[in-house]
Amino acid sequence: MILIADSDTAFAEELVRELKSLAIDAQVAKGGEEALQCLRALVPQVLLVALGNDSGLSLCSALQALPEVKHTPMVVRIPDGELASLPAAIGAGATDFVLTSDSPAIVARRLACAMRSAHRIKQLDEQCSSLVLSQRIVRMGHWEFVVGQDDLHCSGEARRILGLDDGSEDLMLDDLLSRIPIDQREGFNEWLNSVATGKSTSPLEHSVHHVDGNFRVVRQDAEVLCGLTDRRTRVTGVVQDLTERRQAEAKVQFLNEHDSLTGLANRQQFIERTEAALVEARKSGAHPSVLCLDLNQFKAIAGLLPDRASDMLLVAIARRLRDGLREYDTVAHVSTRVAEASIARIRGDEFTLLLPDLKRAADSVRVGRRVLDVLAEPFEVDGQEVYVTASIGVSSYPADGQSSEELLKRAETAAYCSRQQGRNTILFYSPSMNAKAVERLTLETGLRRALERNELAVYYQPRIEIATGNMLGFEALVRWRHPELGLVSPAQFIPLAEETGLIVPIGEWIMQTACEQCRQWQDQGLEPIRMAVNLSAVQFRQPDLFDSVIQILRDTRLDPKWLEMELTESILMQNPDQARKALQQLKSEGIHLSIDDFGTGYSSLAYLKRFPIDALKIDQTFIRELTTNADDAAIATSIILLGRSLKLRVVAEGVETPSQLAFLRVMQCDEAQGYLFSPAVDAKEARRFLDGTRKFHTAA
Ligand code: C2E
Ligand code: CA
Ligand code: CA
């Protein structure tokens, strides 16, 4: 719409008609008052104001002062002889003029032009402000300077990003340079030069220091423009603030490289650091070494702690390693200082250290000892004192491996063997370790899956009353049908299961299976027999042992009197008072209890009397040479006598020959078990014993 403020009614009407023919709306106001009133209802795109008297000029000023039409083009209509008043009109806001002699048709076309360019300007304006807004959102600004001149034009956002928004109007290139850290200035200048000379358009990343201490990372993209309107060469650039993005990336990288629980480096990071140390060592001749420390019995310890406390323990261990290995050992010539970044937790309870610049591989022992010392003091976790010991394995470049993976693997192997030799040992890798360790590792991984994959089975070995030849029960013995290794002996995998804590679910499964089998035979109408199940030390220490046994008996509907639990002396002697209470609880349910491998430990007779047990099982090592070795015969005899005096039944294990049996019969041993009668057999074969007479030949 065009507003026409002109008292020349004839002209105004003619003009409105002309405009209409150009499809432009117009409104006529006769005087200033009326014009201002019109503005309240509608905002025009162009104003036409007739001059010729003072009121025209003052109307111009009044319109110019209104915010709605401040930027609206204002064309003045000047009488032909009064062109001299044009400057005053421009001062009052006029942007163009027509003469009174101009025909309405011409004036209409001039107004149409003004309207079109007003529209264009408005569009540009809008684009410009949305550009400013989007640049602010993406934290991007632009700048420009003319090559050869030093003044720099920066958008508001560019000023903010570069720390140049201190209010000064004129900026120089030097102002920007002064914000760039000294060591990056030369790089910036070189980059700017190569952009200005058209050699490069690649971006540059650098930092800027703001006066308030704020520090930003920015990316600059720039191009050279050869002047369109003049012959000057300009460089125009876009600066983007990458600080937040870089911080987020750094955080992601930290998380990628570190163990989230302890904040130590993770396996990946450790491998990379080791690789870097190897690169150095190839030049310097150093012997970088990898120490792998394996926490002994960690699973068992963790099992005794409340939820999350084992995590707290790992965090505490990490902290100790970090703090304890930080200081220099000034007395010895070898430093035991290990940079924090060289300590890693590579999995569960396995920590590693990298000693990047050892002169001699043997020096790593000092660090190993220091680690053991650092861990020796008890940890306080959740109000409990916890003792942690470690086994350490060491591998060194170049003797034990050429790559970081190889060194790490071999240090792990050495740690594995070190654990076998007892706690607090430090072992160097040797090639002979490998085969054994690999076998154990294969077993360990396999064992984790054995339960799920149904590879475990329970076998049953009969127990016979010597005096009558009657079969009284079975001992349940677990078997592992390994998919590649065949039948693996429990003597091999039970210790492994104990170390890894897997014995708890495995042991429960065995007891469940044996109890279930025992009751099934009863359900099939067979005369009940007793089922003896072995209990590992780790299981015995579980606080919920009693509950889980009761639960199994309930689930399988087996009367507790048909269950016997075999425990070793060492289990009972570790904490006799506690053991006695636990046994009493089980006993009070009617469960039978026996001491397995009797004679190999060092039971205190005093305690033995106080344990509510039913039977002693003479360890098979004494039975093996019973008839040829006088010492063994004496031990077996005294166990039988001891049992009799304490009113306990005595069972001889591993009876293989008739002469062994004859000896036991003469000594009035109560029961026997061994290959002479039968090895442990699967459930199907065991049932055949139950179907028959259940009698074995034991008479002389
Ligand atoms: P153990 O409890 O002393 O079991 C007796 C071992 O002697 C069994 O070996 C059995 O097969 C074997 N044996 C039986 N009669 C004879 C014989 O006449 N001569 C010889 N030389 N050996 C005989 P196995 O089944 O290999 O078990 C070895 C050990 O593994 C067991 O010793 C026990 O400590 C452990 N174990 C086996 N099954 C389980 C189980 O279900 N749970 C737990 N916690 N430990 C188990
Ligand atoms: Ca046993
Ligand atoms: Ca035994």
Q: What is the pLDDT of residues 494-542, one digit of tens each?
A: 988 987 788 999 999 999 999 999 999 999 999 999 999 999 988 998 8
Q: What is the pLDDT of residues 297-317, one digit of tens each?
A: 787 777 777 778 889 999 999
**What pLDDT, on a 0 to 100 scale, did the predictor assign at position 329?**
46
> If you take atom 3 of ligand 1, which residue's CA is the nearest one?
597
Range of the domain at 266: 250-433
- 220 and 256 assigned to the same domain: no
| Ligand 1, atom nearest to 490 Cα | 30
| Ligand 1, atom nearest to 617 Cα | 3
668: DSSP letter:
T
User: With contact defined as beta carbons under 8 Å apart, do 135 and 142 qualify?
Assistant: yes
Residues with CB under 6 A from ligand 1: 461, 476-478, 489-491, 494, 507, 510, 534-536, 596-597, 620, 653-656, 673-675, 680
Q: What is the pLDDT of residues 219-239, one digit of tens each?
A: 999 998 876 666 788 899 999
d(CA 578, ligand 3 centre) in Å = 23
State which of 456, 487, 534 you would mutate to test the pocket of ligand 1, scoring each by most atoms of that ligand within 8 A of its C-beta: 534
The pTM for the full model equals 0.52
Number of domains in the chain: 4
Residue 574 banded pLDDT, cuts 50, 70, 90: confident
User: Which has more confidence, 548 or 495?
Assistant: 548
User: With contact defined as beta carbons under 8 Å apart, do 222 and 176 qualify?
Assistant: no
Quick one: which ligand is closest to 463's CA? Answer: 1
- Distances in Å between the Cα of 416 and the Cα atoms of 113, 382, 428 are 90, 29, 11
> If you take atom 45 of ligand 1, which residue's CA is the nearest one?
534
Residue 662 banded pLDDT, cuts 50, 70, 90: very high
- 72 and 43 assigned to the same domain: yes
**What pLDDT, on a 0 to 100 scale, did the predictor assign at position 700?**
79
> If you take atom 43 of ligand 1, which residue's CA is the nearest one?
534
- 311 and 229 assigned to the same domain: no
- Domain limit, last residue, from 83, 116, 134: 134
Residue range 103-117: mean pLDDT, rounded: 91
Q: What's the chain's Rg over C-alpha atoms? A: 47
Tell me how crowded residue 242 is: count the other CB atoms within 10 A of its CB.
Answer: 17
d(CA 570, ligand 1 centre) in Å = 17
Mean pLDDT for all residues in the chain: 88
Give Cα 546 distance to the centre of its chain. Answer: 36
Flag whether 440 is in a domain. no
Quick one: which ligand is closest to 654's CA? Answer: 1
| Ligand 1, atom nearest to 619 Cα | 3
**What pLDDT, on a 0 to 100 scale, did the predictor assign at position 648?**
94
- 395 and 515 assigned to the same domain: no
**What pLDDT, on a 0 to 100 scale, did the predictor assign at position 122?**
85
Quick one: which ligand is closest to 565's CA? Answer: 2
Tell me how crowded residue 112 is: count the other CB atoms within 10 A of its CB.
Answer: 16
- Domain limit, last residue, from 433, 467, 496: 433
Give the DSSP letter string of 163-210. T--SS-S-EEHHHHHHHS-HHHHHHHHHHHHHHHTTS----EEEEEE-
Q: What is the pLDDT of residues 612-626, one digit of tens each?
A: 999 999 999 999 999
Residue 564 banded pLDDT, cuts 50, 70, 90: very high
> If you take atom 12 of ligand 1, which residue's CA is the nearest one?
654
Flag whether 212 is in a domain. yes
State which of 463, 475, 477, 494 you would mutate to test the pocket of ligand 1, scoring each by most atoms of that ligand within 8 A of its C-beta: 477
Flag whether 284 is in a domain. yes
| Ligand 1, atom nearest to 503 Cα | 44
- 73 and 179 assigned to the same domain: no
> If you take atom 23 of ligand 1, which residue's CA is the nearest one?
654
- 229 and 338 assigned to the same domain: no
Flag whether 448 is in a domain. no
Flag whether 438 is in a domain. no
Residue 54 banded pLDDT, cuts 50, 70, 90: low
User: With contact defined as beta carbons under 8 Å apart, do 655 and 463 qualify?
Assistant: no
Give the DSSP letter string of 540-604. HH-TTHHHHHHHHHHHHT--GGGEEEEEEHHHHHHSHHHHHHHHHHHHHTT-EEEEEEETSS---
Does residue 5 surpass a pLDDT of 50? yes
d(CA 643, ligand 3 centre) in Å = 16
- 170 and 95 assigned to the same domain: no
**What pLDDT, on a 0 to 100 scale, did the predictor assign at position 36?**
83
> If you take atom 15 of ligand 1, which residue's CA is the nearest one?
674
- Domain limit, last residue, from 111, 134, 157: 134
- 555 and 516 assigned to the same domain: yes
Flag whether 312 is in a domain. yes
- 185 and 266 assigned to the same domain: no
Ramachandran area for residue 198 (φ above 0: left; ψ -120 to 50: alpha; else beta): left
Flag whether 646 is in a domain. yes
- 231 and 255 assigned to the same domain: no
What CATH number is associated with residue 153? 3.30.450.20
What CATH number is associated with residue 523? 3.20.20.450
